[in-house]
Amino acid sequence: MPIFEYSCRGCAHQFEMLVLPTITPACPKCASQDLERLISLPALKTEDGTQRAIKQSQARRMKGRTEEIVAQREYELKHDD
Ligand SMILES: [Zn+2]
């Protein structure tokens, strides 16, 4: 069941509503059907978490690569003969 978040254009009230094909969503405060559908919060959170996870894994990879280069340079310096 899709739950959408709406913002009422009539009174600016924001609310979540379970949307059924048989029901036209209306503002629970002023009964207006002039509503703006907002991006649902759970979806937004998931996207944020995914992007953060990608950034963290990229940062880890970058760090690992830098350490490899440093180790390689140290090895070359010690074995420069
Ligand atoms: Zn309203």
pLDDT digits (tens, 9 = 90+) for 44-79: 555 666 777 778 777 777 777 788 888 888 888 888
12 three-state secondary structure = coil
Q: How far is CA 65 from CA 9, 18, 35, 52, 57, in A?
A: 52, 48, 51, 20, 12
The rounded Å distance from CA 54 to ligand 1 centre is: 39
The rounded Å distance from CA 28 to ligand 1 centre is: 7
Rounded Cα distance, 65 and 61, in Å: 6
pLDDT digits (tens, 9 = 90+) for 11-56: 999 999 888 888 889 999 999 999 999 875 555 555 666 777 778 7
The rounded Å distance from CA 45 to ligand 1 centre is: 26
Give pTM, 2 decimals.
Answer: 0.46
